[in-house]
Structure 1
Amino acid sequence: MKRKRLFVALSLLSITLASGCTTKQEHISVQKYEGKHYKFEAYKEKIEMGKTEKTKEIVKNADWEEFTLAEDHPKADFTFYFNDEKNEGRLTVYYVWVNPDGKIVELTKDEHSQYVQLNRKDSKIILRLLHK
């Protein structure tokens, strides 16, 4: 009888500790353009929701403009998408160009039909997410 109580107590303790130590995380896939191909850089599993929620807020509230990408336009420096977020059954892929000064990013989405240039503050948040 003592063993059963000890086993139940240890089980409850481990469940409590395990649930208290976890945080909800977002899964993000990032690819970086190197040379002539995109290199799968990261499947970022350990990014806390606060960081991804801020990024989602930035791209959701951005002032997107209609856009047509020129055929000779250079490839994006990065692509990323949120694996857990689907829109009408498909993922939204974001294409990121980093300006030469490394402080401003430009994004396209929806197969390059929409474009936005972010301010320095929002660009910094996006760049931190991509480079971690």
Structure 2
Amino acid sequence: MKRKHLLVALSLLSITLASGCSTKQEHISVQKYEGKHYKFELYKEKIEMGKTEKTKEIVKNADWEEFALEKDLPKADFIFYFNDDEKIEGKIPVYYVWVNPDENIVELTKDKHSQYVQLNRKESNIILRLLHN
């Protein structure tokens, strides 16, 4: 009988430790432009917080400029947003991504294309790894 109690106690302790040590995860939705339409590419649930936190830090600290979307600007290569992100004025920020494949440089707009930033190569690679993960 003591053996059963010991096994139950060890099992509960193992479960508690395993759940406490699990990696916190973030949800992100990604759409990729293919042809004439955006295709819902991913709803990534199993992304380590370190990857998303770095991406959030990049977009939060970027030197955003006021921007007016040009009519002949091609569609963004990707659209993404963090599902668990803090809402700003009741809305989740949506990011539009254009990739310059020759230089692997990322350009972003947000807030209905009213703000724009071009990232450096290092930050661009972080964003692209997240989108292609």
Deviation at 1:47, TM superposition (A): 1.2
Write the letter of the residue equivalent to 2:88.
N
1:108 aligns with 2:109: yes
Deviation at 1:8, TM superposition (A): 3.3
After superposition, the C-alpha distances for 1:31-63 in whole angstroms (9 at most, x for unaligned) are 100011111111111111111111111111111
The whole-number CA distance in structure 2 between the counterparts of 1:96 and 1:129 is 12
Q: Percent identity?
A: 74
Partner of 1:91: 92
Task: Give the unaligned 5+ runs of structure 2.
Answer: none
After superposition, the C-alpha distances for 1:94-125 in whole angstroms (9 at most, x for unaligned) are 00000141510110000000001111111111
Partner of 1:124: 125
The whole-number CA distance in structure 2 between the counterparts of 1:118 and 1:50 is 19
The whole-number CA distance in structure 2 between the counterparts of 1:102 and 1:36 is 24
Task: Give the unaligned 5+ runs of structure 1.
Answer: none
Deviation at 1:4, TM superposition (A): 4.0
The whole-number CA distance in structure 1 between the counterparts of 2:111 and 2:24 is 27
* Correspondences of 1:17-96 after superposition (within 5 Å): 17-20=18-21, 22-85=22-85, 86-96=87-97
Deviation at 1:19, TM superposition (A): 2.4
The whole-number CA distance in structure 2 between the counterparts of 1:115 and 1:13 is 48
User: Under a length normalisation based on structure 1, what TM-score does the superposition of the two structures give?
Assistant: 0.91
The whole-number CA distance in structure 1 between the counterparts of 2:16 and 2:126 is 35
User: Under a length normalisation based on structure 2, what TM-score does the superposition of the two structures give?
Assistant: 0.90
Aligned residues: 131
